[in-house]
Amino acid sequence: MCGICGLATNDPGRPVEATIIARMTAALAHRGPDGEGAHVAPGVGLGVRRLAIVDLETGDQPIASEDGSVVVVCNGEIYNHVELRKDLIRAGHRFRTRSDVETIVHLYEDLGVDCVQRLRGMFAFALWDAPRKRLVLARDRLGIKPLVWARTADGIAFASEFKALLAAGVVEPRLDPAALDDLFAWGWVLQPRTMCAGVERLRAGHVLVFEAGREEIRRWWSPPLVDESDRPRLTEEEWAEGLLARLEDAVRLHLRSDVPVGAWLSGGVDSSGVAALAARILGRTVDAFSLGFDHPEFDEVGSLATLDRFPGYDLRAHRARHTTEDFGLLPRCVWSGENLVGRGFGSVRQRIAQMTSAKVKVALAGEGADEILGGYWWYKADRRMRGVSRLVGFTRRWRMPPPRTEPLERALRFARAPLGPGAERFRAVAGPLGSEIRSRLYSAELARAIADRPPAQPVPPAGLATKHPVDWVQYWDLTTRMHDYIVETLDRHTMAWSLEVRVPFLDHEVAEWCLAMPPELKQARREKRVLRRALANDLPAEILARRKRGLGSPSAEWLRGRLPPFAEELLSAESLASKGWFEPARVARIRAAHRAGRVNRQEQLLSILQVQTWDEIFLRGRSPGDFDGGARA
């Protein structure tokens, strides 16, 4: 696990300054405290910060081919490197390290850019092919590891985080109005945009090839859209057996490490299943990390027994608590996350990552199970509300008073959402409540900027319209919310503490098996019924019977109480007016309504506060530690 960065020039003979690469890698030091490396040659500069996990002695990067003509830096893990190494040695390649990353170099020598098809893992890598003067950037299938890039006057620049591009001086810090509008419309920023204008994310499952001064981007993997005629004809038990076999294999591969591996543990099925399989496969004690909350609505550790409290599971418990004081982490979270999320700001992940990183460098987590198995509430709700949506479709033209309760507001949005396979229905049901009021909060200048650059909506792929509505919801879940919110925040807020978190449910072989399941199995009365059946012999009945509880923080209550001094200052009329993004009087009105309990506008208020903080950090150069009452570590 690492942070990577670099530059490639339009003129392949032009040298790259080593000092620029040094500034970029320094900006990523939190991602790799164990070492740094660089490769500077005519036309290219590559940099890396290393978190040493596999091949501690000889695995430093950059790593080159036998003749030095191909050089790679990689952030992530190639889990099938042992099997790939055997095949490559038989093909005549010679290895000089035990690193998983070296397999990329030799695969590229044989297969070119198509080498990505052979990789099983989470990765974002940059590869320099010196004979062709070609830079290749690639990102894993499900977007677990981040990679951003920007066009410059002299070529292109890339990095794991855009703060490295700012450190290089190749990008001017500017907030993208379209990304800001994404935040309020969707609850996250849609790829390829970032909050920083001029910087894009390479999309999940894509490669970028830069050669002769031009870049070409192509998609090499997408969530499979299975035709009904091609779907395996299996019983529910056979689907469960197949899932267990693939999940066991994924956990076994994800345990490959030269340092101890722990596991995150909530009271639910997903993380409990991963932890139980890890302990069984390793045959020894696994450190398990759980997070409790002072707020009882969010606390699982206090109200539900986690797996480490059941006999027969070799798990060593570690617990931390998430308290009201953790609101002070918001500036640090904005600096770490870069791209903002309206539903929370990352304090939950930062708190558990801080505790975990004090004990281990690697932890397994249960993220991804709900996306690949349709575990979220909106999958079943979508089925139930489709008939209602047809009946009340004509009411979309009516002006109606806003509902007075959250359930009514959510139900009305469901009923009035468009019925087709496009992304708009998914945004309506999974996006933030109150998104329709966003334009009223914007300043006149921001509104004009957005009107000049209207946000682009994701386009459904060919063939999606012929699939089941469950497939529609799942496609957008996997290609918007999961990429832009779930795995991005997981990476940023854990790597802020130099912690690698691995997600076996997002192994592509596990994901593809689940995506091929019949829709009716994903819409069963009990969510993730196939997974519960698969883990029946590995988990206690009490845990198998539990309903899903989402991981969140009591932001709504925090925003009704006393805020840290920095938050009060940033939400003041003076600060809002000076930065110019929002209308102070309208922000004051929704804040007063929220504090009085008349409405829940936590997502709008959190988004406003984060944008104000982002402005302070990335546009005005303020350090997260400079905020009075903020950035508590």
Same domain, 254 and 338: yes
Determine, yes or no, domain membership for 156: yes
Q: How many angstroms separate the CA atoms of 521 and 532, rounded? A: 12
Q: What is the pLDDT of residue 385?
A: 72
Q: Are residues 114 and 208 in the same domain?
A: yes
- Are 207 and 355 in a shared domain? no
Question: pLDDT category, 624, cuts 50, 70, 90?
Answer: very high
DSSP three-state, residue 612: helix
Whether 126 and 249 share a structural domain = no
Q: Is this prediction's pTM over 0.85?
A: yes
Name residue, tokens 């546009």: 619
Structure-token match 């919110």, residue found: 485
Position 411 confidence tier, pLDDT thresholds 50, 70, 90 = confident
Please state which of the ranges 405-414, 430-439, 501-510 shows the lowest mean pLDDT: 405-414
| Contact assessment for residue 134 and residue 210, using Cβ atoms and an 8 Å cutoff | yes
- Both 113 and 258 in one domain: the answer is no
Confidence class for position 633, pLDDT limits 50, 70, 90: very low
Q: Tell me, yes or no, whether 431 lies in a domain.
A: no
Q: Which helix (H) or strand (E) holds 219?
A: strand 214-219
Beta strands in 103-198 (DSSP E): 121-129, 134-139, 148-151, 155-159
Q: Which range (273-277, 369-373, 457-461, 628-632) has the least confidence?
A: 628-632
Which position has the higher pLDDT, 407 or 579?
579
In this prediction, residues 70-88 reach a mean pLDDT of: 97
Boundary residue ending a domain (544, 560, 590) = 544
Question: Could you tell me the strand order of the sheet in which 70-78 lies?
Answer: 63-64, 70-78, 121-129, 134-139, 206-211, 214-219
pLDDT of residue 105: 97
Same domain, residue pair 270 and 146: no
In a domain, 510, yes or no: yes
Other CB atoms within 10 A of residue 238 CB: 11
Domain assignment of residue 21, yes or no? yes
Is residue 234 located within the same domain as residue 166?
no
Q: Is the peptide bond before 624 cis (omega within 30 degrees of 0)?
A: no
Q: Please compute the mean of the pLDDT values over residues 130-143 and round it to a whole number.
A: 97
Binned at pLDDT 50, 70 and 90, residue 413 comes out as confident
Whether residue 563 lies inside any domain: the answer is no
pLDDT digits (tens, 9 = 90+) for 93-135: 999 999 999 999 999 999 999 999 999 999 999 999 999 999 9
CB 252 within 8 A of CB 281: yes
Q: What is the CATH number of the domain that holds 76?
A: 3.60.20.10
Say if residue 42 is in the same domain as residue 130. Answer: yes
CA distances from 66 to 89, 92, 105, 243, 289 (A): 12, 11, 9, 40, 42
- Over range 50-72, report the average pLDDT: 92
Q: CA 554, CA 298: separation in Å to the nearest integer?
A: 7
Q: Which residue has the higher pLDDT, 527 or 294?
A: 527
Question: Is the Cβ–Cβ distance between 179 and 172 less than 8 Å?
Answer: no
**Of 415, 410, 408, which is closest to residue 394 (Cα–Cα)?**
415
Give the residue numbers spanning the domain of 341. 228-373+486-544
Tokens 């920095």 sit on residue: 566
Are residue 18 and residue 98 in the same domain, yes or no? yes
**78 lies in a domain?**
yes
Looking at the fold, whether 200 and 290 belong to one and the same domain comes out as no
Q: Is 622 a domain residue? A: no
* pLDDT for the residue numbered 398: 52
- End-to-end Cα, the chain, rounded Å: 23
Please write the tens of the pLDDT for every residue from 145-178: 999 999 999 999 999 999 999 999 999 999 999 9
pLDDT of residue 1: 67
Same domain, 244 and 194: no
- Span 510-559, pLDDT tens digits: 999 999 999 989 888 788 999 999 999 999 999 999 887 666 678 888 89
Going by pLDDT thresholds of 50, 70 and 90, the confidence category of residue 264 is: very high
* Most confident of the ranges 167-181, 367-381, 384-398, 442-456: 167-181
Structure tokens at 556: 């709504």
CATH of the domain at 343: 3.40.50.620
**Mean pLDDT, rounded, for 169-195:** 95
> How many domains does the chain fold into?
2
How far is 332 from 237, CA to CA, in rounded Å?
46
Instruction: Say how many residues make up the chain.
Output: 633
Looking at residue 631, its pLDDT comes to 44
Domain co-membership, 134 together with 15: yes
| 250 touches 277 (CB < 8 A) | no
Rounded average pLDDT over 602-614: 96
Distance of alpha carbon 154 from its chain centroid, rounded?
30
Q: Residue 278 domain-assigned?
A: yes
